[in-house]
Amino acid sequence: MTEQTLGAPDRDVQLLERVAEVSEHLRREVEKRIVGQHHVIDGLLTALLANGHALLVGVPGLAKTLLVSTVAEALDLNFSRVQFTPDLMPTDITGTEVIEEDRSTGRRVFRFVKGPIFANIVLADEINRTPPKTQAALLQAMQERAVTAAGETYKLDAPFFVLATQNPIEQEGTYPLPEAQLDRFMMELQIGYPSREEEEEIAMTTTGEARQEIRPVVSAGELVELQHLVRRVPVPPSLVAYAVKIVRATRPDDDESPKLTRTYASWGAGPRASQYLVLGAKARAAARGDALPSYEDVRAVAPAVLAHRVVLNFEAEADGRTTRDVVAELLEISRSWT
């Protein structure tokens, strides 16, 4: 890191060391309660340092809610959980105005009562169970870090991190997230079943009375400072070009897209994916204490950044190909570009 790049090299070197320290301590605290799922924990950490949001996809019983609440405890942040249901209204998320009477004057005035969105970490549990009107209530908050109600705009406190969960197997009575809202999530993290050894450990450690205490490893103010540091991490132009080329390769109408994309994709990722690939690579490098991200960092975050932004066609469905399959093949092709 040079003075020309960052402006305060000594302080940023210290902060870089602190990012690596916080990352290691956070993993250690979360692993007190969560067995396995290391790639999910790393993905959440990457999204958090990059100041992005994450969508957790997995069947019931895989500790998605426990993982999010444990991360909130380890970060010493305000945490709120919203259980998304078919009858949930937008004001149940953002807040509502109530009428209050001043006892001394008898005057009635409106007062805005803040909803659960006014927290540092918001868990949107089973987000696809609520209608689009309510899902859309998250859009402004996720993008602009603000809520508008009755003509007034209320800024959300930093850091602000939305984590949503979704059950991929039960689709009856659900409302799939539209592409516009999916694009607001930096990452889609797939939570799979544990291995036999991990499941045995889960059964052993969670059926007794003991409960591991989680110690906070970083305050809200310091976390914001670390997020700003990630933004200041320098990136070589060649790495940016590589990230952009990967994203453009997901678009079937792009002249440079490979045959794989033109065969299986009907829609590719937009420019926000390029931004998140670069930010994710920066955050992943910073979490290790490295001053420069690598091509491998871009490839490591690409599946979670791209999978929910690529729409496949009927031919892909007929051939049994998933977006993760297509992205994985694209990343293998991209190794020849470096």
Q: Residue 54: what are its φ and ψ, rounded to 5°?
A: -135, 145
Question: How does DSSP classify residue 327?
Answer: H
Of 116-120, 192-196, 311-315, the range with the lowest mean pLDDT is 192-196
Distance of CA 212 to the CA centre of its chain: 25
* Count, residues in the chain: 338
In this predicted structure, what is the pLDDT of residue 78? 86
pLDDT band (50, 70, 90) for residue 306: very high
pLDDT at 2 over 60: no
Collapsed DSSP state (helix, strand, coil) of residue 181: helix
The contacts of residue 151 (CB under 8 Å, 6+ apart) are: none
CA distance 299 to 270: 17
Q: Residue 296: what pLDDT?
A: 93
d(CA 287, CA 296): 14
pLDDT, tens only, 76-117: 788 888 888 888 888 888 888 777 777 777 677 777 788 888
Domain with CATH 3.40.50.300 in the chain: 1-85+117-210+217-232
**pLDDT for the residue numbered 247:** 93
What are the distances in angstroms from CA 23 to CA 18, 64, 193? Answer: 8, 20, 24
Q: Which whole number is the average pLDDT over 109-137?
A: 83
d(C-alpha 25, C-alpha 19), whole Å: 10
Predicted TM-score (pTM) of the model is 0.85
For the record, the structure tokens of 189 come out as 């993290």
Q: Are strands 108-114 and 95-101 parallel, antiparallel or unpaired?
A: antiparallel
39 token code pair: 């790639």
**Helix H or strand E segment including 293:** none
Which single residue is written with the structure tokens 């052993």?
204
Quote the CA–CA distance of 250 and 267 in Å, as a whole number.
8
Q: Is the pLDDT of residue 295 over 70?
A: yes
Phi, psi of 266 (to 5 degrees): -105, -20
- What confidence tier does 144 reach under pLDDT thresholds 50, 70, 90? confident
pLDDT of 313-327, one tens digit each?
A: 898 888 889 889 999
Mean pLDDT calculated for residue range 237-250: 94
CATH tag for 236-338 (out of 1.25.40.10, 3.90.245.10, 3.90.79.10, 1.10.8.80): 1.10.8.80
Of the pLDDT bands very low, low, confident and very high (cuts 50, 70, 90), residue 191 is confident
Asked if residue 1 has pLDDT above 60, the reply is no
CA distance 327 to 246: 9
* CATH tag, 1-85+117-210+217-232: 3.40.50.300
pLDDT for residue 121 is more than 50:
yes
Beta bridge partners of 137: none
Whole-angstrom Cα distance, residue 129 to residue 176? 8
Share of the chain above pLDDT 70, in %: 93
Q: Check residue 172 and give its pLDDT.
A: 61
What integer pLDDT is reported at residue 337 of this predicted model? 85
Query: Which segments of the chain belong to CATH 1.10.8.80?
Result: 236-338
Which tokens belong to 185? 């999530």
Note every long-range contact of 244-247, with CB atoms under 8 Å and residues 24 or more positions apart, other chains counting.
244/274, 245/334, 245/337, 246/277, 246/298, 246/302, 246/306, 246/330, 246/331, 246/334, 247/271, 247/273, 247/274, 247/277, 247/306
